[in-house]
Structure 1
Amino acid sequence: MGIQWMRKVGTIRELWRYPVSSTTGEQIEQCRLTATGLVGDRQFALVDAATGVVAYPEREKRWQRAVFVKSRTASDGDVEVQVPGHNWFPITAPRLLEALTSFFEFEVAVRPYERTGSASGDALFAADRYVVSPLHLLTSASVDHLKEIHPSGNPDRRRFRPNIYLEAEADLSGFAELHWIDAPVRLGNVAATVIAPTKRCGFTIIAQDGLENDPDILRNVMKFGNRNMGVYCRPDEPGAIRLGDAVFV
């Protein structure tokens, strides 16, 4: 897969990791990739402590405030969470559970996903409610295209929660990455494959910091992209990527 046979499609502008799914994640400068995706991404879930059911902001109104909660990876590798009005807490801190429960107004816990295998002793897992795709890539071409279609809205890339936000080459237009399905891709020096389009859900429309609730975001993606915007990629080998890396397809 020599890049001499591939076309440069853009440059990595942003990298995002979401240590706790459904929360606002962290922007990072570089990261490690493995066959399962970005190391440290979506390790934990917010759950209803009474039932163990994982947060579902796109379907349940009571969970829509989850996007105002933030998660990050500390320098020692531990995951921390910040609830509005509170400091950052390790995920094991009792004060975090108190803050989450007060914020959501029902008892909320943070649990590792079953697929992580990271629980120990009597710790409880969060049941995977969907098959997690390894790596989510979104281009600026798609965001710009949606803005053209829906000029009164704000299709900020944060609504779509990519791991990799790509500054597309000037000659790319429309929902450009949807044409790359099954194609080999090189992310910096890491070989990968585009495996599927990203089917959008109601999470794209809900309000978050600086963004209003906007149902027309999803309506237009459904109408003009067959509900798809962005793609999922599977790394074919381990390696590191960083901001400024070129991407070839």
Structure 2
Amino acid sequence: MTDFAGKVTALWRYPVSSLGGERLEAGHIGPDGVAGDRRWGIADAETGGVAGPEREKRWRIAPEVSARLAGEGAEIRLAGGDWMRAGGEAARAALAAHFGFPVEIRPHPGGAGDGSKPVQPRYERAAIHLLTTSSLAALRRILPDAVIDERRFRPNLVLDTGDDAVGFAETGWIGRRIGIGEAELRIVEPCERCAFTMIGQPDLPFDKRILAAISSENGKGFGVLCSVVRPGTVALGDEARLSR
């Protein structure tokens, strides 16, 4: 037996960690998550230090750069600009101008083998980050004058839970399995939030109240992290059903 949990209203991947992601109509979820998700990271080209927008002010503008998968590689774009091959000279020059110091896009270990030196992921995480419209609505009620947008929270899947679900619905699903499209996930734990949620992005202002509200209302968790039980394709509009 299963319970209806919602429908997929957004599917995201983030080819380059810390940079803006891309919305998909459909995508394959494998054992490690959405195909092409977080295959590269950004680092200081001189020191090799990994970007930490939640920790260092100089990296806060990282989400203003968009990234998308392009074949076996990645492309990046700054606001108002054209797409550029991530490892090309034009991209390096644009990133240096954007951040004010030399920046490189490097593969994560086991990721794209383009010959460049790998960079460690910013953190170890479960394969899929799932968020519901119920949680977004709950946060909007707490902060009615804030700009609450799913992009702040960098989910892979957003489920529209409809009007019946109230509050941080997915927090109550931890430990259960959820079938979405061809895939099946196990909901493992809350997604503990950091200062990245406060950072400004295109059309989103910096707002330090967001992390404080999450911490006080839902124990630092917003959305849930999931492991992959059965790989498969997921598309917009697919139903999600929770096992009992």
Q: In which range does the TM-score fall when normalised by the shorter chain?
A: over 0.9
State the 1:207 CA deviation.
1.0
Superposed, which structure 2 residues align to 1:110-121 within 5 Å?
110-116=105-111, 118-121=112-115
Superposed, which structure 2 residues align to 1:51-200 within 5 Å?
51-74=47-70, 76-116=71-111, 118-121=112-115, 123-200=116-193
AA aligned to 1:90 is R
Question: Runs in 1 of length 4+ with deviation above 2 angstroms?
Answer: 83-86, 118-121
Match in the other structure for 2:214? 221
Question: Residues 20 and 120 (structure 1 numbering): CA distance in 2 closer, same or farther, change over 3 Å?
Answer: closer
* TM-score, normalised with respect to structure 1: 0.94
Percent identity reads: 37
CA contact (8 A) 2:182 2:231 kept: no
Structure 1: state its 5+ residue gaps.
none
Q: Distance in 2 between matches of 1:26 and 1:177?
A: 23
CA contact (8 A) 1:8 1:169 kept: no
State the 1:59 CA deviation.
0.9
Structure 2: state its 5+ residue gaps.
none
State the 1:119 CA deviation.
2.7
Moved more, 125-134 or 29-38: 125-134
Q: Distance in 1 between matches of 2:80 and 2:162?
A: 41
State the 1:128 CA deviation.
2.4
Size of the aligned set, in residue pairs, is 242
**Partner SS for 2:60:** helix
Residue 33 (str. 1) matches residue 29 (str. 2): yes
Match in the other structure for 2:229? 236
* TM-score, normalised with respect to structure 2: 0.96
The CA RMSD over aligned residues, in Å, is 1.2
CA contact (8 A) 1:12 1:242 kept: yes
Q: Distance in 1 between matches of 2:142 and 2:3?
A: 27
CA contact (8 A) 2:64 2:202 kept: yes
